[in-house]
Amino acid sequence: MLLRALDDPRAARLLAAATAWRAARPRCVPERAETEALERALRTALGEQRYETERTAGDEPGPEGVAAEVAAAERGLELG
């Protein structure tokens, strides 16, 4: 999953955006397992309060917000 390559706060925001966009559509079993593992890892890395702050920020960024997050992530990955 691409989100594992990102910094933890950005990964939490983009995961929340993807989840919000899915609405009530369930994930397939392998995707759900990977998503749940990533959420656990992010909660551990960021702490519960910071994870919830980042998740809430990612709930409704809109397409422009997600595009900006992805563009910033791409720049960071190119530099790293």
pLDDT single digits (tens) 17-59 = 888 888 778 889 999 999 999 999 999 999 999 999 999 988 8
Indicate the pTM of the whole model.
Answer: 0.79
How many angstroms separate the Cα of 45 from the Cα of each of 25, 39, 63? 28, 10, 27
In this structure, the number of other CB atoms found within 10 A of the CB of residue 43 comes to 16
Across residues 1-30, what is the average pLDDT?
83
Question: Could you tell me which of 27, 46, 28, 44 has the C-alpha nearest to residue 13?
Answer: 46
Taking the domains of the chain in order of start, what are their residue ranges? Answer: 2-79
Per-residue pLDDT for 80 more than 70?
A: no
At 30 the pLDDT is 92
